[in-house]
Chains A and B, each alone.
Chain A
């Protein structure tokens, strides 16, 4: 089963921002509860940036302005994660006003209250949050890891992870402190991405991109993995892997890989693609994916490589999967050991977002599922990143959940696997419409959510249904009654009894029909 949802809610149908660089958190205790993020400005301004919230498994989304710092596109870099238990949501951001790294927390993800700031530090980049929970001393403890590129670190060794062993309730900084991951020599810094994979047995892997040699922007990079076997609390932390060649802490997965930082592909920039995933069924098996330019200084490609270790990161396979001209690889492994790879491929005229699965390390051929394909020159980029420096995919149980960004033109040809739009759109004329159902809105970049479950395994070909023809959504005044609040609404404070909800009658097309663009895979 595959469901894809455009995350822009109906009330923001008039927006045309470049809502790029998505992220996603799914509550492991209740997968109906989700939080998404993107470079989305606060719709009505204010001092906070928004997050996207879903309480129905990603079918519908709404925004809450709860992230401190609101720049012209809302927050800066942002990633989010739920703890395994207890429902606490964590975020790592670059504050939209100050640019500082902030680590945020809320015990109520759907609240409209501003998230608490636990850490605030300047000169940082790309915070990446992963969270888990463990029972220790009779109580549940949230273990939270925020990978980041910390220019405050000494010796040009900037790859860092902030760790808290008990982050849920303590006052700021809630136990967070930075751990310098990089132990080798660099050109003066590491690359932006520092990614973490957490296993329930306490194994924590961190991957980073060492800028080993070269002159900016032409760099030779190493992909390095470190490991801690006790939730990042070992002494010294993240020192369990020693490179088999250099004897430096941190095993190199690949060496001397060329990148031209901030090179472009289409309207997008390149340079910092990295992903890591640990097998939930076996913490010794870990996968890493990264991008580099195989053609070197004179090349033009941007190629993803995926490698696997089955001995806790000490030795690594050769490339098990390579794909040319892609960015934003994201790996995730479900509870049956099925590996998923999400990526966005530039064809020269389109950005194609694809999802593929393997249970045998690509020993047998796979057929990627195309989630989205749309012209890469629409819309014209307003800033970088165009679609984002990262996407995210994660697993809960057997399900894969993910987010990506792309051209939001309402054309079913762009969504071979189907899609649901909340925002107003005319699928016949391929036109976005504002909240009045009439005013045309120009195409822009939107975040899209997807949920793939192997509970039903696709066996036959994917047969795309034709476009669902319908006219403009004539919303007009929303003709429906208020949502009665129950007992409280009948208290004496009310000047008159609250009317019970009346039947929803929005006119020619009911709101539920705005969800009607879903197309399941034909099985």
Chain B
């Protein structure tokens, strides 16, 4: 069952135990209403972005999936949804549902731990772990190393969204995977704080950790053989166990 929940979490960033209050009705005029439109009371938030973690007690408009049977008024399910519109109230579309009993153990444990909207924290942690492991396995190299040099390089064109390429020299102590040797290796990183690059990792002097390296392409190959752009490309040393 955990796999089934994980599959739904992967398709949805908001889930809740909800009771169907009305069918063919809505809390908003933002979406068209048909027989698959329902007003649902949010009894308990299972997982949600921070801004929705206090949504318990609200009523939402739920566009029910046409792939499963319509619920009846008064029925409660664990609904997994994606967003449609956000005004005075929220309209969401169902991407899946489970019987309440399925999620109760998770919800109960989270409540006992005082984790608001944290019913699936454990499962989400496992999913993030799997995602990181997959990310590392798909990289061209994974190394343990320390930044021993940083310099600005390129570019030839300028905009507000320029990545502001810098090159870090890593002293590699250990090659976990990939076709390179211990010693020095050069890595490009986007030092810009522009909206487009803000989440790209920024190498800093003497920074140590696990570096998840990806080969550069095109003109960037002239600047360095590797680059780091994904937020997951720099990890604490202990994360090396993730791919072992």
Contacts and interface: CB of A to CB of B under 8 A. Distances in A.
Interface of A: 9-16, 21, 39, 42-46, 50, 53, 60-65, 71-73, 76-77, 94, 99, 110, 112, 123, 125-126, 149, 151, 188-189, 192, 216-217, 261-262, 269, 271-272, 381-385, 389, 422, 434-436, 438-439, 475-478, 480, 482-485, 488-489, 491, 493-496, 498-499, 511
Contacts of A14: 50-54
9 contacts: A43-B51, A44-B14, A45-B49, A62-B87, A64-B84, A64-B85, A482-B22, A498-B24, A499-B22
B217 to A, nearest CB: 13
Contacts of A45: 13, 49, 82-83
Given A63-B86, A64-B30, A496-B73, A192 B24 contact: no
Nearest to A441: B51
B13 A434 contact: no
Contacts of B55: 435
B196 A477 contact: no
B44 to A, nearest CB: 13
A14 B73 CA distance: 29
B123 to A, nearest CB: 17
Contacts of B161: 76-77, 94, 99, 125
Contacts of B59: 477-478, 480
B25 interface: yes
A435 B60 CA distance: 13
B90 A271 contact: no
Contact of B28 (A44, A62, A123, A493): A62
B158 A216 contact: yes
Per CB-CB distance, the 6 closest pairs between chain A and chain B, nearest first, are A62-B87, A482-B25, A44-B83, A14-B51, A485-B33, A383-B198
Interface in B56-70: 56-59
A478 B58 contact: yes
B76 interface: no
A269 B160 contact: yes
B88 A60 contact: yes
Contact of A383 (B34, B156, B157, B194): B194
Interface of B: 12-14, 21-31, 33-35, 37, 39, 41, 49-59, 72-73, 81-92, 156-161, 192-196, 198-199
Nearest to B55: A435
Contact of B86 (A21, A43, A123): A43
- Chain A at the B interface: SS class: loop
Given A71-B196, A112-B84, A496-B73, 7 more contacts: A9-B88, A10-B89, A43-B83, A44-B92, A434-B51, A435-B51, A488-B24
B157 A151 contact: yes
Given A60-B87, A491-B35, A483 B25 contact: yes
A382 B88 contact: no
A383 B85 CA distance: 26
Nearest to B35: A493
A123 B23 CA distance: 48
Contacts of B87: 9-11, 60-63
B39 to A, nearest CB: 4
B163 to A, nearest CB: 10
Given A14-B51, A42-B83, A125-B160, A494 B90 contact: no
B28 A483 contact: yes
A11 B157 contact: no
A507 to B, nearest CB: 11
Contacts of B21: 482
Contacts of A494: 23-24, 35
Given A62-B85, A482-B39, A72 B27 contact: no
A45 B14 CA distance: 9
B197 to A, nearest CB: 8
A149 B39 CA distance: 46
